[in-house]
Chain A
Amino acid sequence: MATSAPNVRELPSPPTDTISSVSFSPYSSTRLIVPSWDGNIHLYDTYGSDGTGSKLAQIFHDTPVLSACYGDRDTEIFSGGLNFTVNTLDPENNTATAIGAHDDAVSAVCYNTSTRQLITGSWDKSLHTYDPRTSSLTGEYIQPEKIFSMSTVDHTLVISMANRGISIYDLRNMSEPSQIRESSLKFQNRTVVCMPNGQGYATSSIEGRVAVEFLDPGEESQARKFVFKCHRQVEGGVDVVYPVNALAFHPVYGTFASGGGDGVVSLWDGAAKIRLRQYQKLGASIAGLSYNNEGRMLAIGTSAGFEGGQTDGECPPESVRVIIREMPEGEGKGKVQEKRQ
């Protein structure tokens, strides 16, 4: 469609309703899952035989899927959605099996490779951990607020909740959060992602801001945290502030991308505190971002909705697109730090 640049292409057969997120497989560089409000998880090969990408599978749930993640391998996918259930999916057989349930919609699922457990969060203010090998619930932890987003790396789990709550767990000791924080952002949390190096995380809010924070509670590390504004634009003399719906760290460079309700994707260097790139505005709110495991492709999911400023939340199918941007060598690479004092 509007993907004129040679290194940008749009995957065929996009979802028919709002995209919840996009996630590359950690195990192969071209596998992408896209959970959607159309009740399906769409599985793509982003390269395909002819370089254009193709849809491999479409696994139907009876209700919108809010979150999905890869498990131990390409063929192990977990999902959660409005039907309160936590599912394990087999894309080869196109089957979905419920392995647990929350008392409300499952808003976030993530898989920790270090402890090999599935973690799910729900609007019912609870956190579940599952052992995928036995499909059994291994833990249930009550949270103070509805869980909006989660991210895990190494042995760390960061949970972003309503009322600006942030909880940090050490997965080896889930009895209580290792840290409970209040978001540095003054508005509702939107999403959270951990740094690939495990030193910190970035959170975003509905009010055009991103915070970069560090896990180490030491004073020195905490002094390094910062917040910056983004995804705002002036429309008719009014400064319109969009939600930052998606964040994704580059697996190699450690820089990160942000996607906002304004349809803009920006690349940032958190260490140098500068914006590296800002891509041409896309037609609809950015719903999801994901780098592949090599950092050579960036998947961008777009769909109209409340995040883009629509008051009725309508999401016309033409606004739903999955765009793959091939990253040229060095793009998204942070600036070399000069003269660090």
Chain B
Amino acid sequence: MTKKKRRQNPEIEDLIARPWCYYCERDFDDLKILIHHQKAKHFKCERCSRRLNTAGGLRVHMEQVHKETLEQVENALPGRESIDLEIFGTEGIPESEVAAHNQRIMAEFAQKEADRRAASGQSNGPKKPKIDISKELDPAEIKRKLEEHKKAMANGGITPVTPGGAMSPGRAQSPGGFEAHGSPQVPPHQVPYGQSPPPQFQQAPYAMPPQQNAFPQPNAYPPANFPPQQAPPNPYPAAPFQQPPFQPAPQPVPFGRGAPQPQFNGYQQPPAGYPPAPYNGPPQQQQQHQPHFQPPARQHQQSSLPQPHQIPGLPPKPNVPGLPPRPAFTNHPGGFGRGNMSGPPPQQQWNPPHQPQHFNAGPPAAAGFGPPYGMPPQGPANQYPQPGGYGQHPPQHQQPQAYPPPQEVSANATPLGQQRIGLVPEPSLAAPAPTEQPALLPLDTTLAPDAPAATPVEPPTPAVKPKREVRHAYPDTDISPEEKRAALPKYGYKGKKGRENTPMATESTS
């Protein structure tokens, strides 16, 4: 690929927004470059090197000029040689292909993320799985993964499912690194990164739990932790310990499936979605937990916040000091109130724990999205109990308490759970959708302006031209211009006998 290294970690939105060539799956910095590429690689006449704008244009050109039949688009990937699609730039690409392409980008992005983390020695398993999950998988495949997950769970839970495949390494690393890194990393990262590191750890094992734990601890440690979010140092050690137990069950599958969507939310939501995210989160919680809400919300926010950050920011942190993440954090801290963002994060957190339950429950029928969402409630219950056990902070306690009920409720009442699911998905999905659409839409709009310019060119060749009125600059079909001119008096041309006079006459009359 020819992606420029704008940053070390480009945003997924940017990657998705890049113009890409349907025929060869290459992506480009600019739509114009893409169009140039298409004209040069795919729409170029091999006979005369003329560059057409579309496959249709080329076909007509070949037929009319070379009397040959264009059968396929040159240099196209297998299965994409069709000349029936009228593709110009990124216009005209079938929806399904666009979706598949975006999935591919996201998968690639996830893989890169994973590689980078692996390279940097940090485990971000969760992110990867989330991303993978984020991809829209076939229901069948999701089911299959669920099955695998179940098996994995039965075996020991740690074995990751296919989606988790990437995860597994990360996890393995994370746990191992956890303890080891935990202490060492803490010092460097502590103050600024404090939060970030925990998230990482959490992610590896299961981000949420650690954070929650961590936070409680910070609180316990009280002073510094909360405001600066420095808590991490202390929390880390604690968190890891706590986490290990949690990790096995919740982490593997849940994230894999449920996580992906959340991640999207996380990515997209952070930027634009703060308001939406909060809404999503709170409403659900409120319905169930309203009493406890405010305090818990904050906690959630905190806990949740790290995750969103982790998702986008984590990668940077590990590699680089994590400058990018910080800003986010700083914002978040200020926004603790906003922490509502937790909406999505809670889901993520919850999901992991839930999933196991779900599997047991047998929601698999839900096919992918439904179950994960439903899962969250259960998950929280599992997780929360532990935090509660720690009983470090009142707020935390509140949260856990509050959560359990909702979860239980959801678990008990499938309808409710489904409703939640519906709610959750909507926000999560909705959030991503808007972000994606905006990104895409701009492209379209940009295309639109360009397209008109280009399209006009095409139509002439291929299409039946609208008959334009034709005027002959020299309308006489029998008399040549020279004869006409010769008839002008100033030349004194008499013509031969009477013949010239005839043209003269016609001329004068005409």
Residues A313 and B496 in contact in the complex (CB < 8 Å), given A272-B47, A307-B474, A338-B49? no
> Cβ of B473 and Cβ of A308 under 8 Å apart?
yes
Q: Which of B133-141, B257-265, B479-487 contacts A (4 or more CB under 8 A)?
A: B479-487
Chain A residues 204-244 with CB under 8 Å of chain B are 206-207, 234, 237-243
Residues of B within 8 A of A141 (CB): none
Interface residue B495 (Cβ < 8 Å from any Cβ of A)? yes
> Cβ of A338 and Cβ of B474 under 8 Å apart?
no
A105 to B491, alpha carbons, bound, how many Å? 12
Residues of A within 8 A of B477 (CB): 187-188, 206
Min C-beta distance of A330 to chain B, whole Å: 15
Interface residue A63 (Cβ < 8 Å from any Cβ of B)? yes
Contact pick for A305, options B485, B492, B499, CB 8 Å: B485
Interface residue B66 (Cβ < 8 Å from any Cβ of A)? yes
Contact pick for A239, options B47, B471, B496, B499, CB 8 Å: B471
Residues of A within 8 A of B468 (CB): 234, 237-239
Chain A interface residue bracket vs B: 35 or more
Residues of B within 8 A of A104 (CB): 495-496, 499-500
Interface residue A262 (Cβ < 8 Å from any Cβ of B)? yes
**Most chain B CB within a 10 A radius of its CB, from A84, A234, A238, A273:** A273
> Cβ of B46 and Cβ of A338 under 8 Å apart?
yes
What residue in chain A is nearest B475 (Cβ atoms)? Answer: A206
Chain A residues 9-41 with CB under 8 Å of chain B are 18, 20, 37
> Cβ of A238 and Cβ of B471 under 8 Å apart?
yes
What residue in chain B is nearest A240 (Cβ atoms)? Answer: B471
Chain B residues 423-476 with CB under 8 Å of chain A are 468-474, 476
Chain B residues 240-296 with CB under 8 Å of chain A are none
Residues of A within 8 A of B65 (CB): 273
> Cβ of B496 and Cβ of A148 under 8 Å apart?
no
Binary contact readout A178-201 vs B (1 if CB under 8 angstroms, 0 otherwise): 000000000110100000000000
Residues of B within 8 A of A241 (CB): 470-473
Interface residue A73 (Cβ < 8 Å from any Cβ of B)? no
> Cβ of B496 and Cβ of A305 under 8 Å apart?
no
Chain A residues 234-273 with CB under 8 Å of chain B are 234, 237-243, 245, 261-262, 269, 272-273
A82 to B500, alpha carbons, bound, how many Å? 11
Residues of B within 8 A of A206 (CB): 472, 474, 476-477, 481
A161 to B40, alpha carbons, bound, how many Å? 44
A241 to B473, alpha carbons, bound, how many Å? 6
Binary contact readout A86-107 vs B (1 if CB under 8 angstroms, 0 otherwise): 0000000000000000011101
Min C-beta distance of A12 to chain B, whole Å: 25
A84 to B493, alpha carbons, bound, how many Å? 10
Residues A313 and B46 in contact in the complex (CB < 8 Å), given A240-B471, A307-B473? no
> Cβ of B481 and Cβ of A239 under 8 Å apart?
no
Contact pick for A262, options B46, B50, B473, CB 8 Å: B473
Contact pick for A37, options B470, B491, B500, CB 8 Å: B491
A313 to B489, alpha carbons, bound, how many Å? 11
A327 to B486, alpha carbons, bound, how many Å? 34
Min C-beta distance of B71 to chain A, whole Å: 13
Contact pick for A306, options B46, B66, B481, CB 8 Å: B481
Min C-beta distance of B142 to chain A, whole Å: 48
Residues of B within 8 A of A262 (CB): 473
Residues of A within 8 A of B470 (CB): 238-241
Interface residue B48 (Cβ < 8 Å from any Cβ of A)? yes
> Cβ of B480 and Cβ of A188 under 8 Å apart?
yes
Residues of A within 8 A of B119 (CB): none
Residues of B within 8 A of A190 (CB): 480
Residues of B within 8 A of A338 (CB): 46-47, 49
What residue in chain A is nearest B503 (Cβ atoms)? Answer: A123
Min C-beta distance of A331 to chain B, whole Å: 16
Interface residue A43 (Cβ < 8 Å from any Cβ of B)? no
Interface residue A170 (Cβ < 8 Å from any Cβ of B)? no
Min C-beta distance of B501 to chain A, whole Å: 12
Min C-beta distance of A133 to chain B, whole Å: 29
Interface residue B33 (Cβ < 8 Å from any Cβ of A)? no
Min C-beta distance of A57 to chain B, whole Å: 23
Min C-beta distance of A208 to chain B, whole Å: 8
Residues of B within 8 A of A234 (CB): 468
Residues A261 and B473 in contact in the complex (CB < 8 Å), given A272-B47, A338-B49? yes
Partner-B contacts on A (CB < 8 A): 18, 20, 37, 63-64, 66, 82, 84, 103-105, 107, 123-124, 146, 148, 162-163, 187-188, 190, 206-207, 234, 237-243, 245, 261-262, 269, 272-274, 305-309, 313, 335, 337-339
Partner-A contacts on B (CB < 8 A): 46-50, 65-66, 468-474, 476-478, 480-486, 488, 491-493, 495-496, 499-500
Would you list 20 pairs from A and B whose C-beta atoms are within 8 A, ordered by A residue? A37-B485, A37-B491, A63-B491, A84-B496, A104-B496, A104-B499, A105-B495, A123-B500, A124-B496, A188-B480, A237-B468, A238-B469, A239-B471, A240-B470, A240-B472, A241-B470, A241-B472, A306-B474, A306-B484, A338-B47
Q: Sorted from nearest, which 10 A-B pairs have the closest CB atoms?
A: A309-B473, A272-B48, A104-B496, A306-B481, A242-B473, A239-B468, A274-B48, A243-B474, A239-B470, A206-B474
